[in-house]
């Protein structure tokens, strides 16, 4: 049998034993408090607390078993070894065996089972919650561990800075492309902007003809660059009206004329 299969089997057996011990202790405590069996195992009774505790302990064991806090071997020369991990996983079983040996000579089965269960729970809690984190912290104080940790954190920081720099460069490139696109649109759409400005500032205007021409211009702008191009063309037309025809008032009909072209929507109607 491979080491991986042995580790999985040990983890399964240890978890099952720990769950059994915790369940036994809780049921025993509830029975001593005077609760009946149907209350203990009722879904609306204290079994909800029992299930929650058992699931929490199981998830804690899984998290520690697959967690990456001790994945760097050079920073954790002891706790990252396969032997230590196997000992960690098998702690409930080893604690149960030790407690059972210590209870040899006790004739009362209930007291023997209680001692084994309490020993398992207490030893497992102490090792998983206190001893193991303490050992991992002490490993980080070793010169080689501190050096490796500093190098790893520096590498992570450098990678983060590189990503930020790449994002900034990408943003600059996108803004540059957008600026170049707007400049290209300004050159290509200048005649259409002047035509729109003339339609807006005409003294007497045939609205049907003006709307037809404006729709053709808007459709052309949509084909060139979508809504962004249409917005740029509208800005150019409004600027043309304000620059060359200051003495005349005009009404911005462009948003109304273009309503429904591609993705353009008349904001005044929203």
Whether the predicted pLDDT of 162 surpasses 90: yes
Cα separation, 192 vs 180, whole angstroms: 19
The domain ranges of the chain are: 3-141, 170-269
pLDDT of residue 161: 92
Measure CA of the first residue to CA of the last residue in the chain; give whole Å. 70
pLDDT of residue 169: 92
Cα separation, 254 vs 192, whole angstroms: 12
Torsion of CA 228, 234, 236, 240, to 10 degrees: 180
Two structure tokens written together for 268 = 């005044």
Two structure tokens written together for 53 = 């505790």
Look at 30-44, 64-78, 194-208 and tell me which has the smallest mean pLDDT: 30-44
Look at 59-63, 65-69, 132-136, 251-255 and tell me which has the smallest mean pLDDT: 65-69
Cα separation, 197 vs 91, whole angstroms: 83
Reduced DSSP (H G I as helix, E B as strand, rest coil) percent helix, strand, coil of the chain, to 5: 75, 0, 25
Indicate the pLDDT class of residue 158, thresholds 50, 70 and 90: very high
pLDDT of residue 160: 92
Span 61-89, mean pLDDT?
70
Cα separation, 163 vs 169, whole angstroms: 10
Look at 60-69, 72-81, 140-149 and tell me which has the smallest mean pLDDT: 60-69
High-pLDDT (> 70) share of the chain, %: 77
């Amino acid at each position: 049998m491979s080491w991986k299969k042995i580790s999985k089997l040990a983890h399964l057996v240890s978890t099952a034993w720990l769950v059994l011990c915790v369940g036994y202790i809780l049921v025993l405590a509830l029975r001593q408090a005077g609760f009946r069996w149907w209350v203990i195992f009722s879904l609306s009774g204290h079994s909800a607390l029992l299930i929650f505790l058992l699931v929490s302990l199981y998830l804690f064991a899984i998290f520690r078993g697959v967690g990456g806090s001790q994945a760097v071997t050079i920073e954790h020369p002891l706790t990252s070894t396969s032997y230590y991990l196997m000992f960690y996983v098998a702690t409930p079983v080893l604690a149960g065996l030790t407690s059972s040996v210590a209870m040899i000579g006790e004739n009362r089965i209930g007291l023997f089972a209680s001692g084994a269960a309490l020993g398992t729970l207490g030893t497992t809690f102490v090792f998983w919650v206190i001893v193991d984190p303490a050992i991992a912290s002490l490993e980080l104080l070793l010169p080689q561990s501190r050096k490796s940790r500093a190098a790893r954190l520096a590498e992570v920081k450098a990678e983060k800075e590189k990503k930020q720099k790449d994002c900034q460069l990408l943003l600059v490139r996108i803004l540059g492309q957008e600026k170049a696109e707007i400049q290209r649109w300004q050159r290509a759409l200048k005649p259409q902007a002047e035509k729109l400005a003339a339609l807006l500032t005409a003294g007497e205007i045939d609205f049907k003809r003006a709307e037809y021409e404006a729709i053709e211009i808007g459709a052309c702008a949509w084909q060139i660059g979508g809504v962004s191009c249409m917005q740029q063309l509208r800005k150019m037309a409004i600027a043309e009206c304000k620059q060359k025809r200051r003495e005349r008032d005009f009404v911005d009909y462009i948003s109304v004329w273009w309503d429904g072209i591609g993705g353009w929507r008349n904001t005044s109607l929203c």
